[in-house]
């Protein structure tokens, strides 16, 4: 019989082990969450280098603060909140007034569509989404990304952003409406 993998051990058990000093459990937690953290950071910062820096800062904070994480709330929401803060810190350090959209080369689009025409359509959709996200105010974009891209609950987004659930719902609703208008205007221009 083989030892259980990270996917077979409940996350709460991994967290408790890591909080007790088990280095392997900490590494397993990192492996479970690093791709989601990177995806979030990439969407927020707009480039691979800054996203990698944000992931590194997030994982350092995880290592330093592992004992402070509430096992009942889970590691994912905590990491999401820390990643958001790390992205904001990086943005401030780089003296950006706004987070920039992701460049077309920063994200690889999965090649799930076999023919070139459909692949081009997928790239165009991704670029359109990037452009739409870049028009949103930072707080609305962040709330929407955490909710829709990271799968956080409204309560988790609120905790991550230091906001109320009502505010988060409002930000997400406003972001969706603005994106809908953006796509409609873009479609009218194309037609």
pLDDT tens for 3-52 read: 555 456 788 889 899 999 999 998 999 899 999 999 888 888 888 888 89
Q: Are residues 132 and 62 in the same domain?
A: no
Residue with tokens 């590691």: 75
Domain range for 59 is 1-102
Q: Which of 58-62, 63-67, 107-111 has the lowest mean pLDDT?
A: 107-111
| CATH number of the domain within which 10 lies | 1.10.1740.10
In a domain? residue 90: yes
Of 37, 71, 102, which marks where a domain is finished?
102
- C-alpha 30/C-alpha 44 separation (Å) is 20
88 belongs to a structural domain:
yes
Q: Does residue 109 belong to any structural domain of this protein?
A: no
Does one domain contain both 67 and 28?
Answer: yes
Report CA torsion sign: 33, 40, 178, 186: negative
Give me the number of domains the chain comprises. 2
Residues 18 and 78 in one domain: yes
pTM here is: 0.62
Contacts of 83 (CB under 8 A, 6+ apart): 37, 40, 41, 44, 54, 55, 58
Domain final position from 45, 73, 102: 102
Instruction: Please give the structure tokens belonging to residue 2.
Output: 């083989």
Alpha helices by DSSP H, 20-164:
23-45, 48-65, 75-93, 116-134, 138-144, 154-161
């Amino acid at each position: 019989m083989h030892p259980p993998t990270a996917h077979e051990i409940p996350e709460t058990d991994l967290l408790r082990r890591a909080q007790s000093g088990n280095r392997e459990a900490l590494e397993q937690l990192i492996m479970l969450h690093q791709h989601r953290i990177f995806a979030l950071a990439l969407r927020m910062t707009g480039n691979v280098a800054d996203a990698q820096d944000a992931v590194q800062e997030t994982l350092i904070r995880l290592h330093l603060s592992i004992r402070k994480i509430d096992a009942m709330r889970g590691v994912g929401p905590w990491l999401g909140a820390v990643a958001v803060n790390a992205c904001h810190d990086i943005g401030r350090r780089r003296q950006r007034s706004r987070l920039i959209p992701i460049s077309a080369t920063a994200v690889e689009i999965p090649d799930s569509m076999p023919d070139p025409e459909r692949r081009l359509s997928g790239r165009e959709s991704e670029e359109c989404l990037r452009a739409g996200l870049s028009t949103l105010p930072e707080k609305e974009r962040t709330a929407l990304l955490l909710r829709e891209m990271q799968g956080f609950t409204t309560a988790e987004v609120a905790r991550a952003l230091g906001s109320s659930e009502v505010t988060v719902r409002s930000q997400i609703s406003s972001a969706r409406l603005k994106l809908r208008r953006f796509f409609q205007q873009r479609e009218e221009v194309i037609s």
